[in-house]
């Protein structure tokens, strides 16, 4: 899953006795009714947020996790990639992680007019 918006808050890392580290941050969506969404980074992913600052537009890719503990249910948004976006949110400007940036559009071959394999 992914979400785009503006970084509202970046919290300090939290270290636990078990050796587990967690870092939370908040992204405000940019839609008619903006939402403040809290996401979490775990262990070795905690440093992904270091190259970003409050107010910057980002796209966050995350996994939705749920669990039950003592009869209570919890939902966590586990972020695993953060990329910067231009002010309009149209594209990535500062990719992070271990993947190379996508090729420039001019490098990709143009699809043929008759190359439509959709079933409808």
DSSP character string of 90-111: SSEEE--SSSPPPPPGGGSPPP
The answer to whether residue 19 sits within a structural domain is: yes
Average pLDDT over residues 47-64: 93
Mean pLDDT of the chain: 80
CB 42 within 8 A of CB 66: no
The answer to whether residue 119 sits within a structural domain is: no
pLDDT tens-digit series, residues 71-119: 999 999 999 999 998 765 444 334 444 444 444 444 444 455 555 555 5
109 or 30, which is more confident? 30
The answer to whether residue 107 sits within a structural domain is: no
> 18: domain range?
2-98
The answer to whether residue 113 sits within a structural domain is: no
Average pLDDT over residues 19-33: 93
The answer to whether residue 108 sits within a structural domain is: no
pLDDT recorded at residue 105: 47
On the question of pLDDT at 52 being above 80, the answer is: yes
CATH of the domain at 91: 2.40.50.140
Q: How many domains does the chain have?
A: 1
């Amino acid at each position: 899953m992914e979400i785009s918006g503006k970084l509202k808050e970046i919290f300090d890392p939290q270290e636990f006795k078990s050796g587990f580290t967690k870092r939370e941050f908040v992204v405000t969506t940019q839609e008619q009714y903006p939402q403040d969404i809290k996401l979490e980074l775990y262990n070795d992913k905690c440093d992904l947020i270091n190259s970003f600052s409050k107010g910057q537009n980002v796209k966050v890719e995350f996994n939705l996790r749920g669990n039950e503990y003592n009869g209570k249910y919890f939902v966590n948004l586990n972020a695993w990639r953060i990329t910067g976006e231009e002010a309009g949110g149209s594209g990535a400007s500062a990719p992070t992680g271990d993947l190379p940036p996508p090729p420039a559009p001019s490098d990709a071959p143009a699809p043929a007019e008759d190359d439509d394999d959709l079933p409808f």
